Structure 1
Amino acid sequence: MRISQGLRWLALAVFLILAAGIGLSWATDRSADSLKARWATAPSQFLEVQGMQVHLRDEGPKDDPEPILLIHGTSASLHTWDGWTAALTSQHRVIRMDLPGFGLTGPAPDNDYRIERYADFIVALMDKLQIRQAALAGNSLGGGIAWRTAVQHPERVSRLVLVDAIGYPLQSTSVPLGFRLAQIDWLKPVMRQLLPRRMIEGSVRNVYANPDKVSPELVDRYYELTLRAGNRESLTQRMKLRETDALSAGLIKTIGQPTLILWGAQDRLITEPSGQRFHQDIASSQYVVFEGLGHVPQEEDPERTVQAVKAFLN
């Protein structure tokens, strides 16, 4: 009798703990309009491209003959380039955007998140801004988009900056929890309603070499922009794709533009041997490795990493 009553109390306690956990993690979609006040302050603007209202920032001298486009990675946003932008806009026109499926831009109308589709999006954006040719810089997924654009539309890309870019089969030693969960089909209905802020914090800390640099505001940005309506579904669609295979090597070897390759030595998601392979496969490339930095070196230490970019552009 006492054992049975004790089990009932234990079951009730477990239920209450689970209910409290779900309550704290409950996170429904937020509209783009509700997020703009915090994440689309000046000089943000929205431009219609391919049926989307694309969130972008266009800064620096408009007469720059060679603008630079900054392309963020998976689950990031244009804000990841704040430090680089501040350092470059005195001499260069710098354009950065939230890619389809991420940030305030939100999901693509056709739900197509293949690399080649993103490359066409970059060119469509350049057309809208009346930019004939530009330098492209990208981190992670954004790096893959940058080099793929150079392959598909070589006449539109003057040079490349690849920052811990995708392109070869991954040899990850650690993958953020959020990325792993996004690949589990049966969790999709749950993940549309639940998003523990602590999980986002853990994922961001995972891609930094020094987790102490991950501030509450940084976690807020990743967390709130993930909640933008449609972004969680877009992430699951994107994570289903497997594009870093042997075929990429053949494409990468065709890149003829001058290329700067930057890598965080402590990147555990796309480990440093991938950077070496980019350098081997792109004939006209320079390679710089940053000790003490992880998968997003442009965000973790913008002052140190942008120096190599300045020298390359000038």
Structure 2
Amino acid sequence: MTALRRIGVAAALLVLVVGGLVLSLRLGAWNTDRDEVTAKWAQGPSKFISIDDVPIHYRDEGEGPVVVLLHGSIVSLHEWDAVAERLKGRFRVIRFDWAPYGLSGPDPKGVYTTARAAELMDGLLKALEVEKFALVSTSNGANVALEYNRQFPGNATAMAFSVLPLERPSQDREIDWRLQLMLPFHKHLVPDWRSHLFYRLVLEDTTPDSFKPTAAMVDQIYDLNNLPGALDRQKSYIASNTKLFQTTDVAAIAETVTVPVLLQWCAYDTVISQTARQSVDRFTNTKVDLIEYDDLGHFPMWEDPDRFTADMIAFFDRELPVVATE
């Protein structure tokens, strides 16, 4: 066999292997198993409840004033593990996966929007007989929190935000070159699966170099987002959210907030496009306590949970007793 022919055979075999791999990924052969993922990530205090025929995964821990935690995109209630551990000694801490993320859903109505997430949140809190609470949120969870407050005013007695997308997230920020290569591959060839490396790079790309994502952080994102249909449902939510940013003044909803606000601004994050001061200025009907962290990025609850939670508790100590007596 000539050298040229050997090269041709090797190339053909490589094409067959790569083609077979891509086909298996597209057919869902590498998707995670829901029963196995549930057994792994819904242990201990996790519970499930059906709200408007949507299964909701939630945790309800501790005693005292109620604090509700809303996670951001691609993650789940486990984003708040470290914070919940620090809060539950003094507070009743409720957190849940809001569809289309985590183990909640699918929604038989097929509706994945910020408004729908707020409606399901209201159903969950009513089922848990919660009337008044402090509402803590981050990333797209902050949009859900603001929409909840708009639809159901008066229930949240204080609100805390870290990563707050009042404008469409930056579309021209620099991202890791490896992600730049992976994104078109997934968009065009393998839209329904992402690797551990992909999610590790996402975490590293939005946080300081000093932060090293743990294997558990990456595993939970990988396991939950690779459930059958998960990424397709997330795509539906992102499309609806993008349309809101393109066609409405999303930030105007901040004007409906009349309770005390804590803004824990993470300056290292490059996803959010507006500034801290621009964010504060949109809350025209309440006071905002602004804390700026130059060294924290998109996941402050993972990057420095001690400092992040301590500042949150200090805010609760200042504001919750005042609100409770009004």
Whether these two folds match at TM > 0.5 is yes
Q: Distance in 2 between matches of 1:160 and 1:175?
A: 31
Q: TM-score when scaled to structure 2? A: 0.84
Question: Structure 1 residue 96: deviation in Å?
Answer: 0.5
Q: TM-score when scaled to structure 1? A: 0.87
Q: Point out the more displaced range, 255-264 or 165-174.
A: 165-174
Q: Distance in 1 between matches of 2:124 and 2:184?
A: 31
Question: Are the equivalent residues in 1 in contact too, given 2:186–2:194 (CA < 8 A)?
Answer: no
Gaps of 5+ in 1: none
Q: CA RMSD in A?
A: 2.7
Of 290, 305, 317, which residue of structure 2 is paired with 1:302?
Answer: 305
Q: Distance in 2 between matches of 1:131 and 1:152?
A: 16
Of 54, 58, 61, which residue of structure 1 is paired with 2:60?
Answer: 58
Q: Distance in 1 between matches of 2:237 and 2:13?
A: 38
In the TM superposition, what whole-angstrom CA distance separates every residue of 1:273-307 from its partner, at most 9, and x where no partner exists? 34332211113111111122111111221111111
Question: Structure 1 residue 17: deviation in Å?
Answer: 6.1
Change in Cα spacing, 1:196 to 1:183, as seen in structure 2 (3 Å) is: closer
1:138 aligns with 2:137: yes
Q: Distance in 2 between matches of 1:18 and 1:203?
A: 24
> How do 1:1-314 residues align onto structure 2 when only pairs under 5 Å count?
5=5, 7-9=7-9, 11-12=11-12, 14-15=14-15, 18=18, 22=22, 27-61=29-63, 64=64, 66-172=65-171, 173-174=173-174, 177=179, 184=187, 187=189, 190-192=190-192, 194-210=193-209, 212-241=211-240, 242=242, 243-245=244-246, 246-271=248-273, 273-282=274-283, 283-314=286-317
Question: Structure 1 residue 100: deviation in Å?
Answer: 1.1
Q: Point out the more displaced range, 10-19 or 130-139.
A: 10-19
Change in Cα spacing, 1:307 to 1:33, as seen in structure 2 (3 Å) is: same
Letter in 2 for 1:280: D
Gaps of 5+ in 2: 318-326
Q: Point out the more displaced range, 69-78 or 222-231.
A: 222-231
Q: Distance in 2 between matches of 1:183 and 1:251?
A: 34
In the TM superposition, what whole-angstrom CA distance separates every residue of 1:167-215 from its partner, at most 9, and x where no partner exists? 213235246849956994x55xx323x4322212212222222365212
Question: Structure 1 residue 113: deviation in Å?
Answer: 1.7
Q: Distance in 2 between matches of 1:303 and 1:195?
A: 31
Question: Structure 1 residue 93: deviation in Å?
Answer: 0.6
Question: Are the equivalent residues in 1 in contact too, given 2:167–2:272 (CA < 8 A)?
Answer: no
Letter in 1 for 2:294: E
Letter in 2 for 1:296: F
Q: Point out the more displaced range, 245-254 or 300-309.
A: 245-254
Residue 191 of structure 1 aligns to a residue whose secondary structure is coil
Q: Distance in 1 between matches of 2:16 and 2:236?
A: 34
Q: Percent identity?
A: 24
Question: Are the equivalent residues in 1 in contact too, given 2:55–2:106 (CA < 8 A)?
Answer: no
Change in Cα spacing, 1:227 to 1:161, as seen in structure 2 (3 Å) is: same
In the TM superposition, what whole-angstrom CA distance separates every residue of 1:102-139 from its partner, at most 9, and x where no partner exists? 11113222221221221112111111111112211111
Residue 249 of structure 2 aligns to a residue whose secondary structure is helix
Alignment partner, residue 320 of structure 2: none
Q: Distance in 2 between matches of 1:32 and 1:106?
A: 12
Q: Distance in 2 between matches of 1:70 and 1:182?
A: 34
Equivalent residues, number = 306
Q: Distance in 2 between matches of 1:219 and 1:91?
A: 29
Letter in 2 for 1:33: D
Question: Structure 1 residue 20: deviation in Å?
Answer: 8.0
